[in-house]
Structure 1
Amino acid sequence: MNADAGVLQLQAINQRLQLYLDRAPLACIVWDTHHIVRAWNPAATATFGYTEAEAIGRHIHELVATPASMPTINEVCPKLLSGVEFPDGVVLETRRKDDSRLQCHWHLALVDRGTADEGVIAFASDVTARLQAERDRELLEKSHALAAMAGGIAHDFNNILLAICGNARLAAEDLPADHPAQLSLAEVQRAGARAAGIINQILAFSGNEEQAPKEVVLFNETAARTSPLTTQVLRGQGQSVLYVDDEESLVYLITRVLQRLGYRVAGFTDAHEALAAFQSDPAAYQAVVTDLSMPSMSGIEFATHVLKLRPEVPVVMTSGYVRAMDRESVMKTGVRDLLLKPNTVEELGDVLHRLILQARPQAS
């Protein structure tokens, strides 16, 4: 090959390389060891706003660096020129000609090392939108985690509130209407109403559509005088109810409440034990009441097992934290009613009475 042919071939190679550079979708910049720009492609103009004529011959830091990115640049550049590679690239805050900011992912490589043309070739891509999307996704995930935690707190809070207010109600009915303790018990009622308001706020934050009642009326002065539970005694007429909740205090409370209404109650804190009791004699119970959220077995799973054995038995579910998807799942199992804590004490007797009466024609 003669010299002229070699020159022509080299020119052809350079033209192809220039074409590749011009057509490259990423900003491509070449600078020398003094950081003076040698090459600047159209994509770099589109990304940073400087024309090729404006960029060539200027210091790269003067064009695109920001105060926030300089500490990283000062650390990376000497290493790069000494031969250290950065295969994963570097994400830097970068400045446009109009002084706006973007996040760029820079891929850098040392070229022509040891020659007069030694320098750096850099490809830059705008990752601002991607990074923002990642931050938004992380924020959303954290928000969902906080919402789930808030829902769990509301569930526990409802259980505690139900135990406190329910036992206070029973105490009020055990005492004469003019007993001095009635004033203190009335204060428990007012505190319970305020606590229910806090639960509503927690549930609203968690995105739960089912909220506790804004007013929790567990007893009042008139109720204390008339003793509503006492007036309903024998409503249950000896009917047998199976009750399961993982909170021992609630099993104790609801058992006492239902017994005052005339029901015979088998109370359990373990869903597996409760299911075994039901399986041993399914016909022994006229109704079943179960909590929705339990550690050993969910209320939905428990109700499904019960209704497979006796499809006609009324099953009532209670919970202080119910999502829309939970309500749909509950109703698909054949559960007759879903009661929201902390008003279980007020509503459970009426609901059981109604459901047992409705079930009698089916049983007969």
Structure 2
Amino acid sequence: MRNAAKNPTTNRNSRYGLIAASGRGSVMLRRLLPVAIALPALLGWAWFADERAKILGPRLGLGLFTLTNIVMFVVLLYAMGIWLNRANMARRRAGDRDLQLTAIQRAQEALLQSQNQLQGIIHSAMDAVITVDSEQRVMMFNTAAERMFLCLSREALGQPLGRFIPERFRAAHDRHVAHFGETGVTSRAMGALGTLSGLRANGEEFPIEVSISQIESGGNKLYTAIVRDVTDRQRSEQSLREQASVLDLAQVLVRDTEDRIVLWTRGIAKLYGYSRGEALGRYSHELLRTEFPEPLAGIHEKLFRNGFWEGELSHYARNGRRMIVASLWVLERDHHGHPLRVLEADTDITERKQMEESLLQSQKMQALGTLAGGIAHDFNNILLAITGNTRLAIEDLSPDHPVQQSLKEIVQGCTRASALVRQILTFSRRQEASRKTIDIRPVLEEGLALLRATLPARVEIRKDFADGLLPISANSTQIHQIIMNLGTNAARAIGEKPGVVEFRAMTQKIHSEHAGMVDKLKPGVYVRLSARDTGCGMDSATLERIFEPFFTTQPVGQGTGLGLAVVHGIMKDHGGYVSAYSEPGKGTVLNLYFPVSTEVRQEAMKTAAVVPRGSGERLLYVDDEATLVLLMKRSLQRLGYEVTGYSNPLEALKIFRQQPQQFDAVITDLSMPGMSGSDLAAQIIAIRPEIPVIMISGYIRPEDQERAQQLGVRELVFKPDNVDELAAALHRVFSQSRVG
């Protein structure tokens, strides 16, 4: 019944189906049908009542008319129900079709919107998105791909993917895609294939990373690749690697807030000699045995307040070498502002500090030379006056006079004083290291006398020089310097306690079988000078480095590290050799080997000294010290000369200008007020070029020697402690004049 109501066209002859249907006609039929049934009964009742009342006329006509109307009404009602049902079903079918069309349209619109959204996402992606079919022809090429490969989408679509791959990689790419399609793996993560190369439309290759996936659609495989240009990233990584490499070479360490080392670069490892494994986790100040210029608490207070600290520290390397470093500490904090770690950058300034110390010592020596030069002239004048007058007194008195011994002691004391001044001047002034054949014993004696004046009284100096030491070719000043450096080093090793420094000298022959025992020492005859001290000694590591320039174990300000290096250099210049032996607590011994000179010593050829005498030559003597003028007049007159003396150089020049032929030679002091000896010599030589001029002084500088030579001065003599040296110079001058 329900099916017939839904489809009245297939059950149109069923009266019951029409009545039971749900259409509008069936509803109206069900509502009017009771009326159609009840109406004949009503009309029959009315006719029966009319018969009894005899109201109506012919009863038959009225009954037929009524029955006909009822039948027609029912038929019309039935036909109307059928028509209304059909119209209702048509409207329903049209409504269903409209609903179906609306749902399809909505689905299509949703699909289109989804596709547009997907296209928007793909084309707004930062990475290139490329889809290819199974034949590797491009089906999708987003905006990022256009920018990356410098190719428009319309130019790329339908083209083989190989045009965007360098030719040398295309075969490998094809094999990879084929294998990828066969494995059934649907995707591979970005970078899983490593760094690949892409090819731009302009032919430029660039590094890329690729994530690839595959799907099957309509029986065809589609491959989608997400491509990322990693050029900038690689540049950044390379820059970081370079920066890290530079940082690793830097002399940098990083420590935490407890001063434990957490970073130890190769540069700092090279500086201190500790490997990373030895340094990491150690307390930096314990590892390096840091010596601070101020309390560590004060340094930390400045570090936490300012965020950095810089200053000079003393550190010890793994080999025990002490070094001075310029240290910069930088405090790093976390995002809460709490101290996190400290970066420390160290620069070795040991050599610079030692050079500064050496420069200071050099300046001190220069100042000493200036001071010595300033006082030497006046001091030697005093000594010359004492010595000269004492010698005259000795000559005037009889040999058995009771004061003769005292006078001789005065002369000896003045001679030692003059020699000491001469040594100071020689040691303090700069001069070329010219060498000559010398007897080393008196030179060593002079050096020890100078050393004794510099060492504290608690250090005892002993000497043991063998008889018959052979001559050597050497520079006396440098021998003095060797003695000074060895003695000073020994005194520092002895320290504050009493000790002994002993110097020994002997002649030693080195045979060929023994030469190998002393490195770089050839067979031959040597004078061996040994210096032994009772100091603290040293270990083997320190002993290996004692001849290195600027190497010192002394605290800052107490040593330059140049003493033994200078000794080593002097011995090398002399063709000799120096060796050292030491043990901790047992002192040190240094042996110096000087090659014996093959030249005959001039001193050995000298006969007994004979003071040459004059033959009445007329001398002009000029000195600003009147006592010396008087002394030299008396001394030179006793040697046979006629002497005219002046203490004023201007007066002497005036007399000479008036009577230039009156004199056979001129002797002048170098340092005089008003007019120097050089200026006086220049004026005299200008007046009479051939006259011999002798210049004397208690302090002669290299520049004085150079100017005297330029002026034509015949002799430049260190102011003698007796007249004999001046007499010898006069003898040489007059001998040359007679030969000329």
On whether the aligned pair clears a TM of 0.5, the verdict is yes
CA distance in structure 2 between the aligned counterparts of 1:361 and 1:53, rounded to whole angstroms = 84
CA distance in structure 2 between the aligned counterparts of 1:274 and 1:353, rounded to whole angstroms = 23
2:383, 2:721 within 8 Å by CA — same for their partners in 1? no
Q: Secondary structure at the match of 1:207?
A: helix
Any unmatched runs of 5+ in structure 2?
Answer: 1-124, 128-227, 435-441, 443-610
Higher mean Cα deviation, 350-359 or 185-194? 350-359
Deviations 1:200-230 (A, max 9, x none): 24423432699xxx9xxxxxxxxxxxxxx9x
Higher mean Cα deviation, 15-24 or 90-99? 15-24
Deviations 1:232-272 (A, max 9, x none): 8x9437x3x3322232321222234445656251412x444
Residue 459 of structure 2 corresponds to residue 79 of structure 1? no
Which of 64, 69, 72 is the equivalent residue of 2:288? 64
The 1:59–1:17 alpha-carbon spacing in structure 2 relative to 1, beyond 3 Å, is farther
Other-structure match for 2:691: 313
Q: Secondary structure at the match of 2:267?
A: helix
Other-structure match for 1:247: 625
Q: Secondary structure at the match of 1:164?
A: helix
Residue 136 of structure 2 corresponds to residue 136 of structure 1? no
The 1:117–1:41 alpha-carbon spacing in structure 2 relative to 1, beyond 3 Å, is farther
Deviation at 1:192, TM superposition (A): 1.3
Deviation at 1:316, TM superposition (A): 1.5
The 1:351–1:94 alpha-carbon spacing in structure 2 relative to 1, beyond 3 Å, is closer
Matched residue type, 2:392: L
Other-structure match for 2:642: 263
Matched residue type, 2:686: K
Other-structure match for 1:90: 311
CA distance in structure 2 between the aligned counterparts of 1:70 and 1:253, rounded to whole angstroms = 61
CA distance in structure 2 between the aligned counterparts of 1:203 and 1:69, rounded to whole angstroms = 44
CA distance in structure 2 between the aligned counterparts of 1:160 and 1:32, rounded to whole angstroms = 70
Deviation at 1:120, TM superposition (A): 2.7
Residue 419 of structure 2 corresponds to residue 200 of structure 1? yes
| TM alignment of 1:8-23, pairs within 5 A | 16=239, 19-23=242-246
Which of 16, 39, 44 is the equivalent residue of 2:268? 44
Deviations 1:27-78 (A, max 9, x none): 1123344434343321122223344455444443333343x33844332222
1:148, 1:206 within 8 Å by CA — same for their partners in 2? no
Other-structure match for 2:663: 285
Deviation at 1:350, TM superposition (A): 6.8
CA distance in structure 2 between the aligned counterparts of 1:20 and 1:190, rounded to whole angstroms = 79
CA distance in structure 2 between the aligned counterparts of 1:192 and 1:330, rounded to whole angstroms = 31
The 1:11–1:309 alpha-carbon spacing in structure 2 relative to 1, beyond 3 Å, is same
1:107, 1:123 within 8 Å by CA — same for their partners in 2? yes
Matched residue type, 1:125: T
Deviation at 1:96, TM superposition (A): 3.3
Matched residue type, 1:304: A
2:265, 2:276 within 8 Å by CA — same for their partners in 1? yes
Q: Secondary structure at the match of 1:252?
A: helix
Matched residue type, 2:354: Q
The 1:54–1:356 alpha-carbon spacing in structure 2 relative to 1, beyond 3 Å, is closer
With structure 1 as the length reference, what TM-score do the two structures score?
0.71
Residue 399 of structure 2 corresponds to residue 165 of structure 1? no
1:316, 1:336 within 8 Å by CA — same for their partners in 2? yes
Matched residue type, 1:122: E
Any unmatched runs of 5+ in structure 1?
Answer: 215-228
List 4+ stretches of structure 1 deviating above 6 A: 2-5, 8-15
Deviation at 1:337, TM superposition (A): 2.8
Which of 328, 342, 360 is the equivalent residue of 1:107? 328
The 1:19–1:354 alpha-carbon spacing in structure 2 relative to 1, beyond 3 Å, is closer
The 1:13–1:81 alpha-carbon spacing in structure 2 relative to 1, beyond 3 Å, is farther
| Residues paired across the two proteins, number | 331
CA distance in structure 2 between the aligned counterparts of 1:128 and 1:262, rounded to whole angstroms = 63
Higher RCO (C-alpha under 8 Å, 6+ residues apart): 1
Deviation at 1:117, TM superposition (A): 6.7
CA distance in structure 1 between the aligned counterparts of 2:701 and 2:274, rounded to whole angstroms = 54
CA distance in structure 1 between the aligned counterparts of 2:340 and 2:661, rounded to whole angstroms = 91
Deviation at 1:307, TM superposition (A): 1.0
Matched residue type, 2:679: E
The 1:56–1:340 alpha-carbon spacing in structure 2 relative to 1, beyond 3 Å, is closer
CA distance in structure 2 between the aligned counterparts of 1:162 and 1:44, rounded to whole angstroms = 63
Q: Select the structure of larger CA radius of gyration.
A: 2
The 1:36–1:306 alpha-carbon spacing in structure 2 relative to 1, beyond 3 Å, is same
CA distance in structure 2 between the aligned counterparts of 1:19 and 1:350, rounded to whole angstroms = 77
Other-structure match for 1:218: none
CA distance in structure 1 between the aligned counterparts of 2:364 and 2:330, rounded to whole angstroms = 38
CA distance in structure 2 between the aligned counterparts of 1:102 and 1:136, rounded to whole angstroms = 16
Aligned-residue Cα RMSD (Å) equals 4.3
2:387, 2:414 within 8 Å by CA — same for their partners in 1? no
The 1:305–1:108 alpha-carbon spacing in structure 2 relative to 1, beyond 3 Å, is farther
1:105, 1:124 within 8 Å by CA — same for their partners in 2? yes
Residue 681 of structure 2 corresponds to residue 294 of structure 1? no
Other-structure match for 2:173: none
Q: Secondary structure at the match of 2:403?
A: helix
The 1:278–1:110 alpha-carbon spacing in structure 2 relative to 1, beyond 3 Å, is farther
2:325, 2:347 within 8 Å by CA — same for their partners in 1? yes
Matched residue type, 1:64: L
CA distance in structure 1 between the aligned counterparts of 2:237 and 2:280, rounded to whole angstroms = 18
Deviation at 1:328, TM superposition (A): 5.2
Matched residue type, 1:91: E
CA distance in structure 1 between the aligned counterparts of 2:264 and 2:400, rounded to whole angstroms = 91
Deviation at 1:108, TM superposition (A): 2.4
The 1:158–1:185 alpha-carbon spacing in structure 2 relative to 1, beyond 3 Å, is farther
Q: As a proportion of its length, which structure holds more strand?
A: 2
CA distance in structure 1 between the aligned counterparts of 2:374 and 2:404, rounded to whole angstroms = 28
1:165, 1:188 within 8 Å by CA — same for their partners in 2? no
With structure 2 as the length reference, what TM-score do the two structures score?
0.38
The 1:198–1:148 alpha-carbon spacing in structure 2 relative to 1, beyond 3 Å, is same
Query: What percent identity do the matched residue pairs reach?
Result: 34
Deviation at 1:19, TM superposition (A): 3.8
